[in-house]
Structure 1
């Protein structure tokens, strides 16, 4: 079976001079990229003893090295472990030691973190690669080369090992095979109508499957051009859209909000964008509408680290009445909603389960966690949705987020959608706290735009006529910021502590 590095070789034959990767002032054509993949594979094999099944960790911001390493690893049958550079050294050390990485490739800016990682128990051989000096392509230039015909990797081989961020507990490494990356790309191509004429702007971090696999690897499958930004910055992103004229980009809710609230938003040139993909969590409708009103369609994609992530999605041809839905099961993915293991009825809320080649085969060295995540071969997402009569999926909430108050299920996402429509709030989240009468009660924890808008009565009044009385938050807690992990996800355990502490009577506080 041919490994996925064959994509790059094929485009180097058909369109050798076409830009594949643009980064700062550097451009790698498909010919350049194919050469770099072969030479870096040679450097890894002959210089560092990397072979089938070996793990290569990468610590750095977005750069061509990520792409080159991915396809070089595929050629060798090795596994790429992209590390989240926002994590603390002990957290990084956990991923490196848990994975048993044979080599750590890192950018010079992370030398101190790497030294701290070694002190935390992760002293692995390392290779420093500077993107400002051409990265691995320059380091490996002129050395031994692993030709495409000599590839030892296959589609069945694991290729990516991505550690889930999680909101509690230690992260687990989710595996993705080469075949899974290919299937995910096919889903993404179907979702967005991707062709070789497209130009993708990647601003999300490629240590996460959202930045790597919603548009970047699918674009390279079809022979499109990818422009990389080292990291997201609202002003740079708006400037990059105007200057590079991309047709596609991926933005999560936090980055959508950052662009909309930036001073340059009103005059930003977005004309080149034919659509934006978004996901990662329940997306506030106001954020999507802000782009739609500027003439840029927004498509929602649903998935997780363990699913590629592209599993359920919208398409440009979807009916406008489906605004706010997460779409339909992907071209190469099956989906269902279950309640206590049985199929849910149309309109009944249950857990999303997925099956397909894009789904993880399991967690690294975690057989119990792998077994717990599957039911009869279906991956249990832990997310809740309903399917309407047209087969459209509507996200409701995380299963673990459900608040049971007086025997009724309350979904925080429903409350958060109302809060997201309040202009005086910068961001908001809802959590359940213990209630002696009802068992649990929903509490809104919100960040006001200014101290003058911190009016709990005004916030609560917005729910009148919007949600049933029992679903409405019982209290509003104002904070300066919401607690988030390194990937920007809200830390629900910490949020609950904040809410409980704010509601505790003064006599019970220290």
Structure 2
């Protein structure tokens, strides 16, 4: 802990208490899966009860609380309660296989493990495989599911104390850890990123200031809470300013459209696949979208056709950029931004410095290099991984591992991951550029381009397509003629019924490469 110790107003622990004082009757959370609505007074009382549960279970300051669950009010309780007690919340993906979950449990080593009932069996298997992890398991009984916890497992409802009065909060530094969030890596065990109270607060302030959030904003949460998007994209910023967050256990495009209309949603952030599914739904044309004021795409490039569909409905959709290690809200579109800048992520947000470098030096406008970021909302590093932390954070800038360019007007464009770029006949090929062209074809719903070995050129592209399987390689070559340089045009194609995903409907590029990375 740093030497500076602040009052609770400078860190996340007092937020539910402050909101309960300033706007006690305003709705802070809506659970669309059950219809329950929670005021800020309700949320603070629930957080106080959960804080007492943590202490009763022996969870001390800096101890870790892991949770394996879908998005539900109890996970919100844990977020607010760990902030009050100075303990650390480590949400873990319920989508992981037991060996993968075991590796993360071994890394996090939680003092308490809270598990939603449907995932108890897999989590217990993971615990059996995790080395040296001794923890207490508390189950959240999912009343809206058939699954129930085993009789010998204490449940959240039975365990949480009834006293919802104020709890004593320890002195904390803004540099103390509030969250451990695992990266979305699809090879090896994901890294656990250390997120301080300071980072959460600054990302929230940055988002409010740069995106123009308001106290009357309502946002449906489309990201899972084991993802930085589940907390830091809009949930925490909206709570910070006193708005309303709507959650649900599962994603369904029809239900999300209904939520937007029913709740009068004004802010919506989602990955491109979700935004496309909304436009493809039967209810799209009839849904009232007039309340939407801020709509952002993140987690990958958004296709022109999808953006145009939203614009045609009068919604000012634009693209954003973030990562677990920094922010994640790093860019904003200027007021009145021109449509020809739609492929960019805009300009650096209020409290963010950005640069594009090659060999450690800034590149000329238009040139491609690695994107680096600097902001008080950057993470502190990776848990128990000094080498990776030094590589990513050691220069004073966050090395994102993403390729980008900045134009003469100061707009940044994400060109793809450094690791995704390949060299064909001595020329750099950026898959995202090729994918953007192929996605314009009427027969293509989704596309991922991966490199495959080639005797003549070293590597060439293979386009893995989701769409009309009557499309031929000759069709692809003809469509790309005049749109792409010949060396960028894929030399092989393959089809999938649906793209594999990792995280919130985000395409798992590594899984595609693993399956199709041979000729």
**TM-score > 0.5 by shorter chain:** yes
TM-score (norm 1): 0.92
SS at match of 1:154: coil
Contact 1:4–1:182 (8 Å) recurs in 2 = yes
TM-aligned CA deviation for residue 165 of structure 1: 2.0
Corresponding residue for 1:337? 356
Deviations 1:272-294 (A, max 9, x none): 21231211112222222211111
| Counterpart Cα distance in 2 of 1:295 and 1:136 | 44
Deviates most, 391-400 or 238-247: 238-247
| Counterpart Cα distance in 1 of 2:362 and 2:309 | 36
| Counterpart Cα distance in 2 of 1:322 and 1:494 | 31
TM-aligned CA deviation for residue 166 of structure 1: 0.7
TM-aligned CA deviation for residue 486 of structure 1: 4.9
SS at match of 1:390: coil
Corresponding residue for 2:135? 124
Contact 1:384–1:399 (8 Å) recurs in 2 = yes
Corresponding residue for 1:508? none
TM-aligned CA deviation for residue 184 of structure 1: 0.8
Deviations 1:222-278 (A, max 9, x none): 011111122211121112122222111211012112222223223223222123121
Contact 2:20–2:44 (8 Å) recurs in 1 = yes
Contact 1:192–1:315 (8 Å) recurs in 2 = no
- 188, 207, 210: which is aligned to 1:191? 210
SS at match of 2:480: coil
Corresponding residue for 1:4? 12
TM-aligned CA deviation for residue 96 of structure 1: 1.5
| Counterpart Cα distance in 2 of 1:136 and 1:358 | 33
Corresponding residue for 2:25? 17
> Which segments of 5 or more consecutive residues in structure 2 lack a partner in the other structure?
1-5, 145-154
Please report the RMSD computed on the Cα atoms of aligned residues, expressed in angstroms. 2.1
| Counterpart Cα distance in 2 of 1:339 and 1:93 | 38
TM-aligned CA deviation for residue 146 of structure 1: 5.3
> Which segments of 5 or more consecutive residues in structure 1 lack a partner in the other structure?
504-510
TM-aligned CA deviation for residue 137 of structure 1: 8.0
SS at match of 1:441: strand
Matched, 1:281 2:300: yes
TM-aligned CA deviation for residue 106 of structure 1: 1.7
TM-score (norm 2): 0.91
SS at match of 1:338: strand
TM-aligned CA deviation for residue 494 of structure 1: 4.2
Matched, 1:57 2:66: yes
SS at match of 1:460: helix
Q: CA distance change for structure 1 residues 36 and 483 in 2, over 3 Å: closer, same or farther?
A: closer
Q: CA distance change for structure 1 residues 132 and 273 in 2, over 3 Å: closer, same or farther?
A: farther
Corresponding residue for 1:463? 480
SS at match of 2:292: coil
Q: CA distance change for structure 1 residues 402 and 224 in 2, over 3 Å: closer, same or farther?
A: same
Corresponding residue for 1:256? 275
Matched, 1:143 2:143: no
Corresponding residue for 1:241? 260
Contact 1:43–1:144 (8 Å) recurs in 2 = no
Matched, 1:106 2:115: yes
- 372, 378, 384: which is aligned to 1:353? 372
TM-aligned CA deviation for residue 198 of structure 1: 0.7
Q: CA distance change for structure 1 residues 180 and 136 in 2, over 3 Å: closer, same or farther?
A: farther
Contact 2:140–2:157 (8 Å) recurs in 1 = no
